[in-house]
């Protein structure tokens, strides 16, 4: 590591307050600083050596659409040999419901030989800002006046300092946003503003408490108007009060009609107290809807395992990984024997139970890094990396026996057993290997298995 006055570059990276990940030119991760490990919720062992083709990465764009590996920041920098600035990227983590959002920058460190070059990716967590920005268009166009101030410097004459006002504020007061940002709400007060109410507001702010009150303010031209306002503290993710928000409504006309004022104030208070909850619920509903759409697009509705589309995408990634590592790939097709008889003799509900039972067995049998899914009808598929072609038959045979242990219990206590025919293709992956070719080989093997009386395994080994 290069030293600058006794301070190593590694020390600087280890103590940086942003995530830093360094990739070799083939996109393999060779370094990640502590902040990067914390933000990605990974250990050193879980990230070092992984590359852009690793099937465990799950990124989405700002439209909640999956990002293909060729569009990952590290892949873009490698392709164009140019920096990537301020890219917003979401990371899907199975440990939490919502994605983490990062502002990503990346650039190449080019060497004389391109294979000796590196790609540096830096990022910081913007999840909180991303969540807040989803409300911006709502509060900007709300009919009620909305003001946000800092929570510091409550005392005169400096504070509290205004950091945001919406369009309704501009219409009511005559002040533009540029005129009031950095100023204090005291510019709206005048000679007849109730000093007792101002003292109550100040004390609530000092105590970091919410308050609802009615107060007389003045527009830019000096025109008086009555405001019903609710002020409440805003907290950051650590629970600290950093700002105050005020929701205000002009109640000048209602002030002269006490009977109507009481009814309207009660309705207004309920609306304001529940505004944040309503916005949160609507945002959650939108997120849940997007999550369901993604799930429906990539998972089979009956068995809850990856569907054909998902299997095909992940299997292609496995092939790419195998090409890079010069590995052996095992691709298999599984067909439930005499599946039509389950439906014809016992009904489609029993047929569905058979499909679910096979899916559960696949889920328990395969590793996290393996690829499997429902390929269509009563057919399933899998694609895994193995170290030796001699392992292929044994793996398929163990899977066949595992499925045969599954049984379906009927109401009359009849036990239905399940058998499958498996056709598989084994290939030493090279540039000529394609998913279509291996699927055709596996399909040929499956036909041979079914022609041999079913409940058996056939494996075709592709020649180089």
Separation of first and last alpha carbons in the chain: 44
- CA atoms of 367 and 17, how far apart (whole Å): 35
Q: What are phi and psi of 52, to 5 degrees?
A: -65, -20
Q: In 305-460, which ranges are continuous DSSP H helix?
A: 308-325, 339-346, 348-365, 391-404, 435-451
Which residues have C-beta within 8 Å of that of residue 84, sequence separation ≥ 6?
73, 76, 77, 104, 105, 106, 107
Strand 118-125 and strand 100-109: the pairing is antiparallel
Q: CA-CA-CA-CA torsion for 352, 355, 360, 364, nearest 10 degrees?
A: 180
How far are the Cα atoms of 184, 235, 403 from residue 154, in angstroms, in the given order?
A: 9, 17, 70
CA dist 396 and 459 (Å) reads: 9
Neighbours of 317 (CB within 10 A): 19
378 is catalytic: yes
Q: List, in sequence order, every residue forming a beta bridge with 330; answer none if it has no partner.
A: 384, 426
Catalytic residue among 276, 378, 389, 411: 378
Which residues carry out catalysis?
A: 378
């Amino acid at each position: 590591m290069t030293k600058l006055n006794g301070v190593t570059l590694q020390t600087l990276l280890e103590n940086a307050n942003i995530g830093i990940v360094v990739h070799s030119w083939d996109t393999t991760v060779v370094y990640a600083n502590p902040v990067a490990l914390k933000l990605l919720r990974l250990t050193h062992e879980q990230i070092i050596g992984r590359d852009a083709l690793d099937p465990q990465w799950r990124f989405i764009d700002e439209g909640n659409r999956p990002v293909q590996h060729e569009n990952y920041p590290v892949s873009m920098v490698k392709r164009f040999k140019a920096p990537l600035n301020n890219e917003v990227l979401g990371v899907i983590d199975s440990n939490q419901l919502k994605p983490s959002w990062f502002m990503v920058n990346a650039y190449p460190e080019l060497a004389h030989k391109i294979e000796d070059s590196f790609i540096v990716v830096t990022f910081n967590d913007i999840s909180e800002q991303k969540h807040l920005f989803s409300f911006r268009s709502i509060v900007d166009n709300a009919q009620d006046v909305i003001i946000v101030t800092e929570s510091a410097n409550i005392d005169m004459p400096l504070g509290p300092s205004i950091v945001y006002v919406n369009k309704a504020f501009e219409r009511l007061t005559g002040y533009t946003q540029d005129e009031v940002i950095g100023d204090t709400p005291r510019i709206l007060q005048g000679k007849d503003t109730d000093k007792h109410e101002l003292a109550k507001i100040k004390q609530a702010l000092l105590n970091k408490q919410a308050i609802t009150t009615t107060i007389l303010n003045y527009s830019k031209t000096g025109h008086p108007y009555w405001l019903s306002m609710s002020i409440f503290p805003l907290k950051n993710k650590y629970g600290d009060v950093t700002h105050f928000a005020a929701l205000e409504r002009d109640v000048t006309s209602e002030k002269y009609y006490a009977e109507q004022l009481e009814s309207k104030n009660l309705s207004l208070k309920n609306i304001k107290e529940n505004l944040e909850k309503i916005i949160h619920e609507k945002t959650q509903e939108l997120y849940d809807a997007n999550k369901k759409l993604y799930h429906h697009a990539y998972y089979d509705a009956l068995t809850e395992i990856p569907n054909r589309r998902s299997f095909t995408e992940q299997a292609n990634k496995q092939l790419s990984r195998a090409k890079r590592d010069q590995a052996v790939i095992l691709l298999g097709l599984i067909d439930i024997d005499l599946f039509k008889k389950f439906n014809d003799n016992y009904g489609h509900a029993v047929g569905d139970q058979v499909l679910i039972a096979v899916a559960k067995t696949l889920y328990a049998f395969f590793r996290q890094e393996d690829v499997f899914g429902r390929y269509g009808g009563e057919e399933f598929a899998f694609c895994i990396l193995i170290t030796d072609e001699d392992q292929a038959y044994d793996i398929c045979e163990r899977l066949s026996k595992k499925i045969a242990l599954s049984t379906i219990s009927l109401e009359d206590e009849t036990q239905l057993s399940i058998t499958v025919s498996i056709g598989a293709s084994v290939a030493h992956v090279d540039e000529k290997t394609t998913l279509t070719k291996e699927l055709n080989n596996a399909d040929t093997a499956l036909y041979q298995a079914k022609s041999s009386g079913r409940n058996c395994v056939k494996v075709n080994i592709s020649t180089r």
